[in-house]
Chains A and B, each alone.
Chain A
């Protein structure tokens, strides 16, 4: 989160949806969505494929009609004041598509004509400016059909920025970009945010979202399952790694922590055990890093002493995986759930007694 920007908040909602719903026949693509994006937000819109992200963006942009609910942008209902709303938005919806027989700059001219901008050479400086931002200046005369995927994506961003909109909606803007291109887009988003633009970013690249967004919403099967401040969400996913002085103390420490969790320490969310590269058992306590000292004290009260205590930062990936109910990464990374570990340890003890 080192590069997280400071949003130019003023607490005013730029996007506000109220029970927004879209059904295609029996399939409910978006269900009762209540979304709030504030002015100056860099808002990450996350969810697996088919979760309803693009459908939501399309409803916000008036491309599809909601089955129920409404969307208010800049204080205007998009069912009634769409043209006025669209004049304030620059958007990429899915893969950008342009006229294949026109060059990059000719496509921008056509878009400018449809964006309320003056015709002729009046906006020449602006075309040059946006092409410069996305580094397509030298390819501006090249016919669009000859553009690479990355160039098409960059032209999409140029088109979105053309009329200097206050809200920029980017649906998977880094699709098809190489790592350098991804970094460029990240920098661009940060620059736009610094200028006070509100960014609505739909992306699958969680690390990117974590780096640039200050707020996120997570969709699953059309339902909003999480919405909030990225820092707050990450705080919920902070962990404390505990390595005991002796391997034999791990089971005892686990039992103590489980007991304390059930009785008094409600700030402990979850306890698990994993093995590190040296095949040492590490206890992972889902708790704020500020509680490291408390964990140490709890163990010490039972004559158990940690050799190491490390706070582990939360990741958006963990938040996302939990929210979207995908198999938790811990299971895949060789982690052993606490109960399984305790059971296994108990079996070993029984075996030893026998």
Chain B
């Protein structure tokens, strides 16, 4: 309703009252979007697939902690870092599947027709998907950290190990939060790519396999360009060697590595946070824009 319609010259039909059993909510853009996000989360919650994926993630964390704790007891912060690293790896795969399914599934089942004839705009439809994904990413990471901590406590406290809270400093909290945010951003970026590809391909498979291919190609091309750069040893070689600095995976890795550097003393990433942040934001804008453009201009004919 943002534009002035040429039909404003025509008489607008007043809307009759609805049945008293129909309770309408606020119709502002944000309220409609909020309800659409709630609808998306409800669908995700009721899917058997979400439950299976969550179980896989939880089981992986518990098994990994069991295994490491069995070999040698580790302090709580290390358990948290390990939980986060596993969450990043397992979560990436699981969220790619979930994101591909919640968008591609709408096309393959045909429910997109149903959703787009109910009132929300195509932009709201897309934002609802992304909003729901973002909320899922946040809830998943926070829950997995909680599960990691509880598992560590169950494995260590009964046998007499105590929690040494000396790590719990302002510095640690700051970098842990940044590390968590970097992992959330990483999961969301791949989810966004899956949303984009499954929307373009109108299928879950397009999103899931597309992201996996992208991932594989980025790594393969990064290695190839680095090799070429070192062989050529000239300006063009230097240029080729810097190209991977603009790849998604390298920038997301850098964001995580830079925090791990503070937390665990690992070596820092070759790319600084500002560069990585800007590159990832550009990717997100491009993926979002492409998805929005395909959705806006496309005829829903399936």
Contacts and interface: CB of A to CB of B under 8 A. Distances in A.
Interface of A: 12, 14, 39, 58, 61-65, 70, 72, 74-77, 79-84, 86-89, 91, 93-102, 106, 109-111, 113-119, 122-123, 125-126, 129, 159, 162-164, 166, 196
Given A72-B7, A119-B35, A80 B1 contact: yes
Interface residues of B, number: 46
A58 B5 contact: no
Interface string B181-198: 000000000000000000
User: Main SS of chain A's interface residues?
Assistant: loop
Given A75-B11, A119-B35, A119-B38, A114 B25 contact: no
Contact of A91 (B21, B117, B301): B117
A58 B4 CA distance: 23
Given A12-B13, A126-B19, A116 B301 contact: no
B111 A113 contact: no
Nearest to A114: B118
Given A83-B120, A111-B114, A122-B23, A102 B46 contact: yes
B25 to A, nearest CB: 4
Contacts of B27: 87, 116
Contacts of B1: 80-81, 83-84
Contacts of A100: 109
B10 A99 contact: no
A99 B109 contact: yes
A117 B25 contact: yes
20 contacts: A75-B7, A75-B10, A76-B7, A83-B1, A83-B119, A86-B118, A87-B27, A91-B117, A97-B113, A98-B111, A99-B111, A101-B47, A101-B48, A110-B39, A114-B36, A114-B118, A114-B119, A115-B118, A129-B21, A164-B18
Interface string B240-270: 0000000000000000000000000000000
A80 B119 contact: no
Contacts of A39: 13
Given A80-B3, A164-B18, A113 B38 contact: yes
A14 B36 CA distance: 28
A43 to B, nearest CB: 16
A58 B300 CA distance: 8
Contacts of B23: 117-118, 122-123, 126
Contacts of A91: 117
Contacts of A95: 110
Contacts of A119: 25, 35, 38
Contact of B119 (A72, A97, A116): A116
The 10 closest A-B pairs by CB, nearest first: A113-B39, A77-B7, A80-B5, A97-B110, A64-B299, A75-B12, A63-B300, A164-B18, A74-B13, A114-B118
B22 A164 contact: yes
Nearest to A196: B16
A119 B37 CA distance: 11
Interface in B19-53: 19, 21-25, 27, 32, 35-36, 38-39, 42-43, 46-48
Contacts of B114: 96-98, 111, 159
Contacts of B60: none
A114 B19 contact: no
User: Main SS of chain B's interface residues?
Assistant: loop
Contacts of A97: 109-111, 113-114
A116 B10 CA distance: 25
A196 B15 CA distance: 12
Given A76-B7, A119-B25, A106 B46 contact: yes
B16 to A, nearest CB: 6
Contact of A76 (B5, B111, B301): B5
Interface in B48-87: 48
B117 to A, nearest CB: 5
Contact of B24 (A77, A114, A116): A116
Contacts of A99: 43, 109, 111
B32 A116 contact: yes
B116 interface: yes
Contacts of B115: 114
Contact of B19 (A14, A87, A164): A164
A74 B7 CA distance: 10
Nearest to B13: A74
B6 interface: yes
Q: Output the residue of A70, A72, A97 with the most chain B CB within 10 A.
A: A97
B35 to A, nearest CB: 5
A113 B36 contact: yes
A123 B118 contact: no
A77 B1 CA distance: 10
Contacts of A89: 117
B13 A14 contact: yes
Contacts of B38: 113, 119
